Amino acid sequence: MVKNNYEASSEKAAFFGRWGFTFKTGMENFRVVCVNDRSKPDGFIGDWIKKGEIYTVVDAKKLARQRLSIGYKFAELNIDEKSVFQYFLANRFRPYDEDDAKAEEAVQELLEESLVDLVM
């Protein structure tokens, strides 16, 4: 019997729910800053993170293979579907805060001023 996507998803959610997994739907995206880009794992295929870069989290979930750590998926990075790893460990990142926003704005202003100086 062929099941529709809703039935298959409900069965998966029920199965994993028994093991303490939660599935977030409608999660609000948020931003983080990479603090650890070392030790790219074998079997990872895709764009790798860079220390100091800001990323937008579009999905978060518990990762069974990493002792139920939290993993993030980002809007800015592509991970090949053949990759063994589909999420980045959350402990590689810190929350993006107001100071980061101010620093970003200051850098943008300096860049704009530099461009004006170059044109003149």
**Domain for residue 75, yes or no?**
yes
The answer to whether the CB of 29 falls within 8 A of the CB of 67 is: no
pTM of the model: 0.64
**Domain for residue 111, yes or no?**
yes
Record the tokens describing residue 65, joined without a space: 């293979």
pLDDT in tens, 12-63: 444 444 444 444 555 688 999 999 999 998 989 999 999 999 999 999 998 8
**Domain for residue 8, yes or no?**
no
**Domain for residue 55, yes or no?**
yes
Q: Identify the CATH number of the domain in which residue 88 sits.
A: 2.30.30
**Domain for residue 93, yes or no?**
yes
Total number of domains constituting the chain: 1
Record the tokens describing residue 83, joined without a space: 């990759």
**Domain for residue 83, yes or no?**
yes
pLDDT in tens, 66-99: 777 899 999 999 999 999 889 999 999 999 888 8
Range of the domain at 85: 21-119
Alpha carbon distance 77, 85 (integer Å): 13
**Domain for residue 6, yes or no?**
no
Alpha carbon distance 48, 59 (integer Å): 17
**Domain for residue 13, yes or no?**
no
